């Protein structure tokens, strides 16, 4: 220890004063005496000397990581899931196909009965009067004369229907999809029904449903983790925003609508497009990334056609993957209904049928991919997620799980890799884009994706904001 007197005289000889506590400090830390003498101050205080100390010499400070206090934590989640998939069915027999079609026709017939008063096809009479029927579209074609001819089937029989090419409803008739259930009105003559009105089940405007607590939900999909085009830096930006930004403080739910990973063997030659070539490792990576999301946020995760559960729909939840290790994950089927706080109903459907629908509906062919709400609107009005059987390789269950039995408040899809939000009769239609950059395949088809965009909805006001992490 350097004696007190010596310290005082050193400072005094340089014309400086030093406070008693500063002297005491220097007694213990004599290495700082020379530095303190060079300070351009007349009165040297202990704070001035402490500042001279090199940071590494400071005693280690114990950092206790304090969890962020955010409004979303104040509210317990209340969530009810209705998986639309019959897991007990193992084998499928011919009679299952039968009961499947009966279920489809009966369910949608019931909805249409609210709009028209039909008779059975076998009761059609050549009486010159307008008669109404409901049936499944069995086949549809254009006649050599350019008219549209389609066959409708109900429980009593078949009838051929004609829409004249000069008719006002010809454009509407072009949009009719095979296997969909519709109502038609027309005059029966020479064994043909001459159609003058086509009716889809649709639904009357809903009352707009709001939550009475201030929480938000995020809608995303098509992460394609494992693909060489997965935008990990953009996804990390999103995760960082979730953990640190003021704007994310009310987020309580994240809905992820399928294609969590890129999968393996989904299309020929996929191998070269994969960064992670083992599907289980793709899910491990997905788990590690999603584990960054704070636990108070619930993740509702549905599968898509790139996931491990196979393409045919409905698809069971992703239970046998490492995603089930996430404590805050709720793994659901595709499609499924999720009800929040016993109030707000969300229908999640990945959207595999939309490719076929865009091809089959002439008015959507050019615009369907850039405005993915349009095919969503078509399935909603038809009250069926995949009206054409061929579009999704539907697995026939004893009932048709793809019928939209209940109109949701929010209808969430993905698959098309483009983002859009639309309101229709107080239902919010969200297609939530992707976190995958444009793939070679998409380049070839001329599809331009909208990557890195999330849809943030305030569930108390139903206001929606799109946030683009490619631009942040």
Residues that bind Fe ion (CB under 5 A): 222, 259
Q: Which of 230, 415, 420, 427 binds Zn ion (CB under 5 A)?
A: 415
What are the backbone angles phi and psi of residue 422, rounded to the nearest 5°? -140, 150
Closer to Fe ion by CB, 193 or 220: give it: 220
Closer to Zn ion by CB, 178 or 259: give it: 259
DSSP per-residue string spanning 253-305: EEEEES--B--SSSSTTGGGGBSS--HHHHHHHHHHHHTTS-TTSEEEEE--T
What is the per-residue binding string for Zn ion in 209-248, x denoting contact by CB under 5 A? ----------------------------------------
Site size for Zn ion, by CB under 5 A? 4
Provide the minimum distance between the beta carbon of 115 and Fe ion in the complex, in angstroms, as a whole number: 35
Closer to Zn ion by CB, 31 or 370: give it: 370
Closer to Zn ion by CB, 182 or 454: give it: 454
Closer to Fe ion by CB, 107 or 221: give it: 221
Cβ neighbours for 284, distance < 8 A, ≥ 6 positions apart = 322
Q: Which two tokens stand for residue 298?
A: 């619930």
**Residue 374, H or E segment:** helix 373-382
Q: Which two tokens stand for residue 67?
A: 């969890």
Provide the minimum distance between the beta carbon of 287 and Fe ion in the complex, in angstroms, as a whole number: 19
Closer to Zn ion by CB, 32 or 394: give it: 394
Provide the minimum distance between the beta carbon of 302 and Zn ion in the complex, in angstroms, as a whole number: 11
Evaluated on CA atoms 68, 69, 70, 74, the torsion sign reads: positive
Q: Which two tokens stand for residue 155?
A: 């429980």
Q: How are strands ordered across the β-sheet holding 419-424?
A: 79-83, 336-340, 344-348, 410-413, 427-432, 419-424
Q: Which of Zn ion, Fe ion, none sits in contact with 433, Cβ below 5 to 8 A by type?
A: none
Rounded CA-CA distance 418/358 in Å is 14
Provide the minimum distance between the beta carbon of 278 and Fe ion in the complex, in angstroms, as a whole number: 19
Provide the minimum distance between the beta carbon of 94 and Fe ion in the complex, in angstroms, as a whole number: 33
Q: Cite the beta strand spans of 311-370 per DSSP E.
A: 329-331, 336-340, 344-348
Confirm or reject binding of residue 273 to Zn ion (CB under 5 A).
no
Closer to Fe ion by CB, 259 or 378: give it: 259
Angle at 233 between CA 230 and CA 235, to 5 degrees: 70
Tell me how far the alpha carbon of residue 53 is from its chain's centroid. 54
Provide the minimum distance between the beta carbon of 219 and Zn ion in the complex, in angstroms, as a whole number: 15
Rg (CA), the chain: 33
Provide the minimum distance between the beta carbon of 326 and Zn ion in the complex, in angstroms, as a whole number: 21
Q: Which stretch binds Zn ion (CB under 5 A): 4-12, 87-95, 413-421, 452-460?
A: 413-421
Q: Which of Fe ion, Zn ion, none sits in contact with 303, Cβ below 5 to 8 A by type?
A: none
CB 178, CB 141: distance < 8 Å: no
CB 376, CB 221: distance < 8 Å: no
Provide the minimum distance between the beta carbon of 245 and Zn ion in the complex, in angstroms, as a whole number: 29
Rounded CA-CA distance 206/408 in Å is 9
What is the per-residue binding string for Zn ion in 289-328, x denoting contact by CB under 5 A? ---------------xx-----------------------
Closer to Zn ion by CB, 311 or 466: give it: 311
Q: Tally Cβ neighbours within 10 Å of residue 6.
A: 11
Confirm or reject binding of residue 375 to Zn ion (CB under 5 A).
no
Largest CA distance in the chain: 125
Provide the minimum distance between the beta carbon of 305 and Zn ion in the complex, in angstroms, as a whole number: 4
Residue of minimal Cβ distance to Zn ion:
415
Rounded CA-CA distance 352/86 in Å is 19
Q: Which of Fe ion, Zn ion, none sits in contact with 305, Cβ below 5 to 8 A by type?
A: Zn ion
Closer to Fe ion by CB, 186 or 258: give it: 258
Q: Which of 180, 259, 378, 391 binds Zn ion (CB under 5 A)?
A: 259
* Kind of pairing between the strands at 329-331 and 344-348: unpaired
Residues that bind Zn ion (CB under 5 A): 259, 304-305, 415
């Amino acid at each position: 220890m350097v004696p007190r007197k010596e310290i005082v005289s050193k400072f005094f000889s340089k014309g400086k004063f030093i406070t008693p506590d500063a002297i005491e400090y220097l007694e213990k830390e004599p290495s700082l005496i020379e530095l303190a003498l060079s300070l351009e101050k007349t009165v040297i205080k202990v704070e001035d000397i402490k500042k001279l100390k090199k940071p590494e010499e400071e005693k280690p400070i114990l950092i206790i990581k304090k969890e962020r206090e955010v409004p979303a934590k104040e509210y317990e989640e209340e969530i009810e899931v209705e998986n639309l998939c019959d897991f007990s069915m193992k084998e499928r027999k011919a009679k299952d196909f039968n009961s499947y079609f009966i279920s489809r026709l009966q369910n949608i017939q019931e909805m249409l009965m609210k709009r028209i008063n039909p008779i059975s096809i076998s009761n059609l009479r050549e009486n010159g009067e307008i008669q109404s029927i409901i049936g499944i579209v069995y086949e549809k074609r254009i006649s050599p004369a350019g008219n549209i001819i389609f066959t409708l089937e109900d429980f009593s029989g078949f009838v051929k229907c004609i829409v004249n090419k000069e008719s006002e409803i010809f454009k509407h008739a072009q949009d009719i999809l095979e296997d969909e259930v519709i109502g038609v009105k027309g005059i029966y003559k020479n064994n043909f029904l001459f159609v003058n009105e086509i009716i889809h089940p649709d639904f009357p405007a809903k009352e707009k449903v709001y939550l009475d607590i201030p929480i938000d939900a995020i809608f995303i999909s098509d992460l394609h983790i494992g693909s060489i085009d997965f935008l990990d830096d953009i996804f990390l930006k999103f995760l960082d925003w979730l953990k640190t930004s003021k704007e994310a403080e009310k987020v309580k739910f994240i809905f992820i609508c399928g294609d969590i990973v890129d999968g393996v063997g989904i299309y020929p030659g996929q191998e070269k497009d994969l960064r992670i070539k083992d599907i289980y490792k793709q899910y491990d990576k997905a788990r590690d990334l999603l584990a960054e999301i704070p636990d108070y946020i619930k993740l509702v995760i549905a599968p898509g056609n790139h996931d491990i559960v196979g393409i045919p729909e409905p698809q069971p939840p992703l239970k046998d993957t490492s995603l089930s290790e996430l404590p805050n994950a709720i793994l659901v089927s595709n499609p499924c209904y999720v009800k929040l706080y016993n109030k707000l109903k969300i229908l999640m459907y990945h959207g595999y049928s939309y490719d076929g629908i865009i091809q089959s509906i002439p008015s959507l062919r050019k615009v369907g991919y850039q405005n993915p709400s349009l095919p969503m609107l078509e399935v909603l009005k038809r009250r069926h997620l995949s009206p054409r059987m061929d579009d999704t390789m539907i697995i026939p269950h004893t009932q048709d799980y793809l019928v939209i039995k209940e109109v949701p408040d929010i209808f969430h899809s993905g698959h098309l890799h483009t983002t859009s939000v639309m309101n229709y009769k107080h239902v919010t239609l969200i297609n939530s884009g992707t976190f995958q950059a444009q793939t070679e395949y998409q380049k070839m088809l001329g599809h331009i994706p909208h990557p890195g965009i999330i849809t943030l909805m305030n569930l108390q006001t139903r206001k929606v904001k799109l946030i683009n992490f490619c631009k942040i």
